[in-house]
Amino acid sequence: MALLVGIIAGLGAVIFRDLIAFFHNLLFFGRISVEYDALVHTAASPWGIGIILVPMIGALAVAYLVKTFAPEAKGHGVPEVMYAIYYKRGIIRPQVALVKSLASSISIGSGGAIGREGPIIQIGAAFGSVLAQWTRVHEWERLALIAAGAGGGIAATFNTPIGGIVFAIELMMVEISARTLIPVMIATGTATFIGSLFFGGHPSFIIPQSQLGALTLEPTSVYLEAAVLGVLMGVLATVFTRSVYLFEDWFEAMPGNYYTRHVFGMALVGIIMYLMMLFTGHYYIEGVGYSTIQSLFDGNLNIVWLLLILVGLKLLATSLTLGSGASGGIFSPSLFIGAGAGAGFALLVQHVAPDMPLGPVGAAVIGMACMVGASTGAAVTAVVMIFEMTRDIHVIIPLIIAVSLAYGMRRLLLNETIYTLKLSRRGDHLPVSLHSPMYMMRSALELIRRPVVRLPASETLGEARALTKPRRPVPHVVLTEHGDITRPPLGVLSGQRLRAALKRLPDDTPLRELADTGYLVTDEHVPVFDLIADMRRLEKRNAVLTADGDCQACEDIIGVISHDDVIEFTNLPRMLTLRRTL
């Protein structure tokens, strides 16, 4: 089955590219053709200023397809696959692959500033899920086939089989073992082979070795420049992630419906496209944007101000496209923004310090990896894929340094990735890593991460603010009766709930109104596994630990564990630790 998934993922990438080419030629030039080279700039459309209407027409078609047949095809695809894995047992509807193919190809073909990789990942994953449903295999096999389809899709797109495997491991797989890895390996290898039959054996970009410059020499100063660039790209990745969802909120708040909002957003993208052609001679930011990246690699795009403008406009156009409701991925925009920002950084450094060795092409390669790794959270995938693209061992160390710092900076500024933020905004939280089950057998006492303070129930939020302000993290609060710790607690206020209340509620709010009075009391030695089971069965959000499982006085409390503490410690999805009705 993994072989079949790989074949379909590879063929899906081929067909999807042809669909993009078909709609691009039809809408831009009024001709029927699937001839389209994404590495070559699109010629000026004969429609002139009428090109502004092309993205608007595409928006109407996309809105109809998504709204009528598959709402989950809206957006960049990967979050919906992750949601299906963790919250729907890997069940993906069959029509998702078809609708996603059509909607995304129309979005990209009509000029939407989005990528083709996210849709291909979702298409491959959907087929893996559907095949598993048809054959009635076990759930773990279904999840493995979804990961195989997703990895195969991205491997076929970039001709990076190892990158496809690592992508599946980092973002898709819930079990790492021979029985799950081998199907992924088979699928990615097969998909890459199928893709190479149609696209050739070269990667997505042609990067002349002579243009990599200092990366092949590895002077120490290159590592320093790579480190600085990595930090800056981490900041830019955070801006990019925030921008996509800021525009999504903005469009949701607009009057009208999905059709009018999407058409309006794409009208703005069309205006940007027209102005780019009018003043620069190329559309630059439309579609996947690979032609702009290739121009940079060829050494034909080395004007600092133009590069920085292109980075800003691509970020804006992608936010408008996705925010208004298009169907497409964020991988290509990440590559575009990373390449442009990296090259611009290198040119600025060379202007100030001409002896610095990192050239614009080498910095663009690093910038691409940084943006992908930081924004998606797939840091290892970014390093491996860029290595497979350049096929030069010398790029590894600068890439590792830069991508690691970019990822760390983004985590410092924003804990969520561009994929998980979409889910967490609607209350669907995913694990951030894979853990051994040994943590579940530890004592509940080891879950205690926050201190406990005892405050009279009569106190207000403002008084609690003064007492908890110097403490990091915000402590859990046990409410006492008139400050008497020899009496039973009147309630528990978790540190997470207190922190949220301090941000949005007035200072005169009584703590008693925020407290959880139905907390669980348990023995400090209870295993984490049993604690989770009890909290789920009894529908409790907080647990109080005592020496003997009995709480007759506030002074008996050893610690407090909230539901969020459990999530952080065990790294389990919320659906497994608390009933969805709460």
pLDDT tens across 326-349, in order? 888 888 999 999 999 999 999 998
Task: Look up tokens 């789920």; give the residue.
Answer: 536
pLDDT over 60 at 214, yes or no: no
pLDDT over 70 at 574, yes or no: no
**DSSP letter string, 442-485:** SBGGGG--S-EEEEETT-BHHHHHHHHTT-SSPPEEEEEBTTBT
Region 164-191: what's the mean pLDDT?
A: 90
pLDDT over 80 at 559, yes or no: yes
Q: Is cis: bond before 354, omega within 30 of 0?
A: no
Region 76-90: what's the mean pLDDT?
A: 85
Q: Which of 47-61, 176-190, 203-217, 242-256 is predicted least confidently?
A: 203-217
pLDDT over 90 at 39, yes or no: no
Residue 74 near residue 118 (C-beta atoms within 8 A)? no
pTM above 0.75, yes or no: yes
Q: Could you report the per-residue pLDDT of 9-20, keeping only the tens digit for each?
A: 899 889 999 999
Amino acid at 485: I
3-state SS class at 107? helix
Distance CA 490, CA 205 (A): 64
Task: Look up tokens 């930090």; give the residue.
Answer: 231
Residue 455 near residue 467 (C-beta atoms within 8 A)? yes
Task: Look up tokens 């598993």; give the residue.
Answer: 132
% of the chain residues with pLDDT over 70: 93
The band of 209, judged by pLDDT with boundaries at 50, 70 and 90, is: low
Number of H helices, E strands in the chain: 24, 6
Q: How high is the mean pLDDT of the chain?
A: 86
Q: Angle at CA 257, nearest 5°, toward 253 and 258?
A: 95
pLDDT over 70 at 256, yes or no: yes
> Which pair of tokens denotes residue 218?
């590895």
* Domains of the chain (ranges, CATH numbers): 2-199 (1.10.3080.10), 209-257+264-424 (1.10.3080.10), 437-577 (3.10.580.10)
pLDDT over 90 at 270, yes or no: yes
Per DSSP, 443 falls in state: B
pLDDT given at position 506:
87
The band of 581, judged by pLDDT with boundaries at 50, 70 and 90, is: very low
pLDDT over 60 at 575, yes or no: no
pLDDT given at position 582:
37
pLDDT over 60 at 350, yes or no: yes
Region 145-172: what's the mean pLDDT?
A: 90
Q: Which residue has the higher pLDDT, 72 or 127?
A: 127
Q: Which residue has the higher pLDDT, 577 or 412?
A: 412
> Which pair of tokens denotes residue 247?
């525009």
Most confident of 81-85, 262-266, 385-389, 522-526: 262-266
pLDDT over 60 at 65, yes or no: yes
- In 3D space, the residue among 232, 251, 342, 337 whose CA is nearest the CA of residue 288 turns out to be 337
Q: Which residue has the higher pLDDT, 177 or 390?
A: 177
pLDDT over 80 at 488, yes or no: yes
The band of 398, judged by pLDDT with boundaries at 50, 70 and 90, is: confident
**DSSP letter string, 357-409:** ---HHHHHHHHHHHHHHHHHS-HHHHHHHHHHHHT-GGGHHHHHHHHHHHHHH
Angle between helices 360-376 and 220-253 (to 10 degrees): 50
Let me know if 481 is exposed, middle or buried by CB neighbors in 10 A (0-12, 13-18, 19+): middle
Distance CA 269, CA 313 (A): 9
3-state SS class at 218? coil
3-state SS class at 136? coil
pLDDT over 90 at 481, yes or no: no
Q: For 264-327, where are the E strands, in sequence order? A: none
The band of 580, judged by pLDDT with boundaries at 50, 70 and 90, is: very low
Antiparallel, parallel or unpaired: β 559-562 and 491-493: unpaired
3-state SS class at 323? helix
Distance CA 34, CA 18 (A): 5
Q: Which residue has the higher pLDDT, 326 or 433?
A: 326
| CA 501 remoteness from chain centre | 28
Cβ contacts of residue 445 below 8 Å, gap of 6+?
Answer: 524, 525, 545, 558, 559
Distance CA 388, CA 411 (A): 26
Q: Is cis: bond before 161, omega within 30 of 0?
A: no
